[in-house]
Amino acid sequence: MDFTAQKIWGNPKWSTEKKSLVYAQSVFKILGARGSVNMDQISPSTMVIDSEMPEGRLGFKTSGTTGKPKQIIHTINGLEKAYIRLREFLGTVAPFNAVSCLPIFHIGGWMQVMRSFFSEGEVYFINYRDFKLPELSSILSQRFVSLVPAQLFELLKSKVACRNLRLCRGIFLGGAESNHLLLARAREEELPLLSCYGLTETAGMVTILETEDFMNGIEGVGKVMPDVLLRRDSKGRICIKCKSLSGPEAEKQNSFSNDWFTTSDVGHCNHQGYWQISHRIDRVINSGGKKVFPEVVEKKILSFPEVKACRVSHLNDLKWGQKIIALVSPSGINTDDLDMFLRKELEPFQVPKEYIVIDEIPLDFKGK
């Protein structure tokens, strides 16, 4: 593969996030020299690999939300298989022209680059807030963009941003829970959303909710993509089998069985084939002898109209064992009102004992 091609970067003036552009070009330079890459947060570095392993590998860190981050190593061939299943799902052979505004060193951000590369398209790197600029509309037609709910929350406040987003070919939405109020607002604006579910181990999305289904009021993460198999184990955990699956060797004995990967995500599929994710089994908090699923609390917090983003976790506590805390943005939220709201929506043991309010929860806080 020719990693020296410059067409993928398009017109340099449209990539306002120069650090991401330089990062991507540095990765291509290493790959072009037949090397492998550590996708480190600050800058990519050459990966030292076993001499018997093929070249052209990329190592991504998982988010580490429930423990020490792990490195997932993907081959270029595996990333191409992930691109192919998306192309087949969307039924297109046209170039994937993309606008990238996610952290590029994580799989969700990097796959936008690879889709453009494999399909001979273009990718531009911008700050998501640039969607509020009228002049951006000149490059958005038929481009794909990936967003997380916190970004969409902010952009829905701007008429210009909504107009620009409507120009896109599709908006992949994933990485965190989306509350029904946010989705309802996106429907009102007729945004071409494609809600999705995927992991670092799968090189991105394995299910997608098509825009037509989204506009018809269906929620969740949609149906499985081509060449992907999903099932649930006895604990309700989602198990995945697909051609782009990878994982750290140290974890394969516990998480992989006959090429199936057992995730920590609990979900279900309805009789029409639509999947929903409810919570992660490894994030359970034991507070005062009661089991609390953070995702349940987060979903209620996100339904409070003023909340842009949140993260529920815990601190060790002498009284409760694990004390529930909630990180919430933006900074202007009245936590007394939020607490009163949650006490009407949740069981007493589910209500956070402490709120930490900040202006912006970094996208990287969860590795998303």
Per domain, the residue ranges of the chain are 7-279, 284-366
Provide the pLDDT for residue 181: 84
Question: What average pLDDT does this structure show over 61-82?
Answer: 79
- Whether 51 shows a pLDDT value over 90: the answer reads no
- CA 283 from chain center: how many Å? 18
Reduce the DSSP state of residue 319 to 3 states and report it.
coil
- CA 105 from chain center: how many Å? 12
Provide the pLDDT for residue 351: 95
Question: What average pLDDT does this structure show over 272-295?
Answer: 88
- Looking at the chain, list the stretches that DSSP marks H as alpha helix, in order from N- to C-terminal side: 18-32, 76-90, 107-118, 137-140, 149-155, 159-166, 180-188, 211-215, 249-255, 294-302, 335-345
Mean pLDDT over each residue of the chain, to the nearest integer = 89
Residues making up the chain, counted from first to last: 368
Question: Could you tell me if residue 285 is left (phi over 0), alpha (psi between -120 and 50 degrees) or otherwise beta?
Answer: beta
Q: Which CATH class is domain 284-366?
A: alpha beta
Q: What are phi and psi for residue 90, nearest 5 degrees?
A: -80, -10
Please state, for a pLDDT cut of 90, what percent of the chain lies above it.
Answer: 68
Reduce the DSSP state of residue 358 to 3 states and report it.
coil
Question: pTM, whole model, 2 decimals?
Answer: 0.85
Nearest to 146 by CA among 119, 169, 121: 169
Residue type, 208: I
pLDDT tens digits, one per residue of 302-333: 999 889 889 999 998 877 888 999 999 998 89
Q: Which CATH number fits domain 7-279: 3.40.50.12780, 3.40.50.620, 3.60.20.10, 3.60.140.10?
A: 3.40.50.12780
Q: How confident is the model at residue 367 (pLDDT cuts 50, 70, 90)?
A: very low
- Whether 258 shows a pLDDT value over 80: the answer reads no
Provide the pLDDT for residue 250: 46
Pairing relationship of beta strands 275-280 and 285-287 according to DSSP bridges: unpaired
Nearest to 120 by CA among 146, 88, 98: 98
3-state DSSP helix/strand/coil percent for the chain, to nearest 5? 35, 25, 40
Per-residue tokens: 1: 């593969």
Q: How confident is the model at residue 341 (pLDDT cuts 50, 70, 90)?
A: very high
With residue 92 as reference, give the H or E element that holds it: none
pLDDT tens digits, one per residue of 98-143: 999 999 999 999 999 999 999 999 999 999 999 999 999 999 999 9
Contact 148, 36 (CB under 8 A): no
pLDDT tens digits, one per residue of 169-222: 999 998 877 778 889 999 999 999 999 999 999 999 999 999 999 999 998 999
pLDDT tens digits, one per residue of 233-256: 999 999 999 999 986 654 554 566
With residue 103 as reference, give the H or E element that holds it: none
Provide the pLDDT for residue 65: 47
